[in-house]
Amino acid sequence: MNNQRYVVIDVETTGNSPKKGDNIIQIAAVVIENGQITERFSKYVNPNQPIPAFIEQLTGITNEMVENEEPFSAIAEHIYSLLHESCFIAHNIHFDLGFVEHELKRAGFPHLESDVLDTVELARIVFPCFDGYKLTELSEELQLNHENPHRADSDAEVTAMIFLHIMSRLKALPLPVLKGMRRLCWHLISDMQPLLDMLIFEKDQHLEDGYMKVGSFVIKAPTELPEEPMVDQELLFDHQPIWEAEEGLDSLLSGLENRRGQMLMMKEVWQAFANREHALIEAATGIGKTLGYLVPATIHAKTTKNPVVISTFTTLLQDQILNKDIQLLEEIFPYKVTAAVLKGQSHYLCIDKFQHVLQEEDDNYDSVLAKAQILVWLTDTNTGDLSEINMPSGGKFLWERIARSHPVKGQLKEYCFYERAKQKAKIADIIITNHALLLSQEVNQGLPMEHTDTYIIDEAHHFERVAGEQYGTRVDYVSLHKKLMQLGTLKQQGFLRKVERLYRAVDISSESFFKLSERLECLLEESDMFFTSVHSFVKRRKRNHTLNRLFYKVDQYSETSSWYRLQEGAGRLCSMLVELHQLFSEQIQQLDEKTTSFTSHQLFVLEEYRSCMAFLEEYEKKLGHLFFENNEDEVVWIEIDAKGAKNAVTVYAQPLDAGELLADRFFTCKKSVVLTSATLVVENSFNYMIKKLGLRDFYPRTLQIESPFSFEKRMEIIIPKEISLIKNDDQQAYIDDISRYIKTFSMKKNVKVLVLFTSHAMLRDVYHTLKNEADLPCQILAQGITGGSPLKMMKSFKLLHHAVLLGTNHFWEGVDFPGDELTMLIIARLPFRPPDDPVESAKCERAKIKGESPFQTVSLPEAVLTFRQGIGRLLRSADDSGTVVILDRRIRTSSYGKVFMKALPKASVLEPTFSELEAKFSEEKKPHE
């Protein structure tokens, strides 16, 4: 490391703003010289004002701890001398630097002339794949001991250790990457130029092994794609009879836990493949479902020399299959099992596009930060899958520009991440993909379709819904606005202006650009007016002011004059888009003979321009379909953000019978499809799911495998007797009751409670009621309120020892809290979809026309499946135990309640009074106090 002196500073304060009178209550410094920590300093400071209660709670620093300490002015000279001619480092530099400069100025010291480095920004660049960049998150990722978060001495120490890790990572980067970062760093917060200059000066000019230079940057050298492995056919035939003899299975799986249900599943999957049949298998939690289909899939792939495709709904399951289950297969079989993940091409970085974008002048902070992240990430990634990077939100626009959209030609093709992913898929035994890609047209380009006819659909209860989305249509204001802004006008720095210059450079008349510029200005204004009017149209008809997302189902046969006025607006927008495309088509014909003289970067700009125009052409077709094509077989609805922008609108269309389309477009074309999930059965019958998926004419095999868990011993079900009935016109009594029960259950020491809601409005009301409880003994996390994505909320919940998590749709399924991470599950309300759900209400209307009961054929089965998914969150392994609480008395009082009761695991059911529950939980608390 160079001779630069680095001083890491952290402060704790009475608030967020020194300009509003907030002061420092603790300051700590760690000095780093020549790569070593050489000095530490820490001091409590008297702020001459009371410390707010929430600061005391956050930091643990009390008024008593600082009342006898000196004010900052007494240590100002020492702080100034520490920082003089040193580089100031902090985690979120603006906060700490702002307070220190304010206090030093107030003490009469001159302005600091230090370079600054922000470890948040630096960590984002050098560790682009980390999940988060808070001190606690970085400490966990880098395995650093962070003893007292939100104490300045502990935070400064950890920040210093993080900085040393950052320096180590920077020193290991190839020279072209450092030079690339040097060109970008002018627009960053941190003063990185001196640091990078030093590292570049010290760096060997030779490119290290394992890297490959592409243009001005470096990628990790791609490994040679393996050849298709040769397999001893005798070994394969030795394994084939195992499906006929159970002792053969026992021998094959001798190293694994003996699960009878898993063996049943293996046999059923094998029979479906062998007989060229489709199959539905409900495999309850605990049977080892994934291996249950992977073992027969592997043998089938090896014997037929054709891959088996496994499709999942969540990326979490994809990661589990690839990183855990495939390794288990290699322990079972005496030969290597190959697997490949294939996503849509827009998930992969296009090296050619990134090369061009990197050359451009760019002063957008998020874009520059994302470019720096990608430079580092390319030295590590084997996949080029952009979902690996934790990009800033503003970097998403950059991502769209550099994602692969069309084949790369020439030398770069051998480095193309998407092409390599396809090549891996072609020689893999197991191809892992997702439902959306599997049902898209793009899958025909990605999968070796001529040899792929055997499929396993995991998380199959989502398959029909994903099909509805894939076979449907949508338009929204945001995507249109984004494309129009990318094009820009001749007065703006967009693609239109760039291409106009390109025309002039090759002596082609640019007159058409003036017409296009005018049309684009009008189009931007017209689209804003149109979507604002659509927003108002929905809001006038849906006057529930408590909800953020509002839905309006379109019935074009009974609409009023207001709807016809919207159609007129849509018609004008479509006409303008058609006219725009005609101008573009005439304009682009002039280039046919000139493109051979263009540079590669000019061709790149032209391709982006064409891409925008192609988007607008497709958008016009979709808009016309949604507003002018009456199709009895689909539902059209509008969704608005009621509390957001006045043009935050999306219009959707989905087929009413996606199962029929699945039958025609998917199942008919496949030799064997096995669909599996933990929830496919309603009232011990597969009939609902068979109909929903369009499988009635295929007469699929069916198998229901029950869980091996001892629910009688490990689960207790509580349905309280005394709880208010749900009334749509007055839910307050019910909300008060839910809050009262949650508080009672949370009194138990170290309890971890997940509360599942069907309505975000109800969740919000319960959260605010609980927050007003002064003696609530644990932390409350609430989806959409306490901040962070559902994934971050899950992580926070797992780290807490005593907490309540309030969740809606995301938490009903696909989340795992094994062991003590979840001890109680509360279902606030039976999960019927809201009456304004456009797809469900349209399906109910269709059922009514057919003479069927909408409730019995649509609403109830869907609610039961969701209910079973929710219950499944509690016990995830044989050793788990816990309590399920159902706070909806309809399960006992309604005629349909027995269907939900049948869906419950075979465990004891208690129906106590509130006082009995209070006594029960207060007794459970006493021994731990």
Domains of the chain: 5-172 (3.30.420.10), 474-656 (no CATH), 711-928 (3.40.50.300)
Q: What's the CA gap between 95 and 99, in Å, rounded?
A: 7
Report whether 288 belongs to an annotated binding site.
yes
Task: Please provide the distance, in angstroms rounded to a whole number, between the alpha carbons at the two ends of the chain.
Answer: 53
285 labelled ligand-binding: yes
Is the separation of the CB atoms in 724 and 733 below 8 Å?
Answer: yes
Name the token pair of 816.
Answer: 């795992």
* Cβ atoms of 311 and 338 closer than 8 Å: no
Q: Which two tokens stand for residue 141?
A: 């990722």
CA angle 24, 26, 27 (to 5 degrees): 95
pLDDT at 98: 95
Q: Which among 875, 858, 872 is positioned nearest to 903, based on CA atoms? A: 872
Phi, psi (rounded to 5 degrees) for 748:
-65, 135
290 is in an annotated binding site: yes
232 contacts 262 by C-beta, under 8 angstroms: no
For residue 306, what is the enclosing H or E element?
none
pLDDT of residue 788: 75
Structure tokens belonging to residue 599: 């540079």
Low-confidence ranges of the chain (pLDDT < 70): 1-3, 225-258, 409-411, 442-451, 544-546, 556-558, 592-593, 727-730, 923-929
Tell me what pLDDT residue 1 has: 46
Structure pTM?
0.89
Is 283 annotated to bind a ligand? Reply is yes
376 contacts: CB under 8 Å, gap ≥ 6: 125, 126, 128, 169, 173, 177, 181
Query: Under 8 Å CB-to-CB from 824, ≥6 apart: which residues?
Result: 745, 751, 752, 753, 754, 874, 882, 883, 884, 885
Backbone angles phi, psi at 316, to 5 degrees: -60, -45
How far lies 256's CA from each of 262, 846, 873, 911, in Å?
11, 49, 24, 40
pLDDT at position 750:
84
Q: Is 627 helix (H, G, I), strand (E, B) or coil?
A: helix
> What is the rounded CA–CA span in Å between residue 926 and residue 922?
6
pLDDT at res. 448: 62
Residue 928: predicted pLDDT: 43
Distance CA 468, CA 435 (A): 11
- pLDDT of the residue at 929: 42
Please give the pLDDT value at position 801: 87
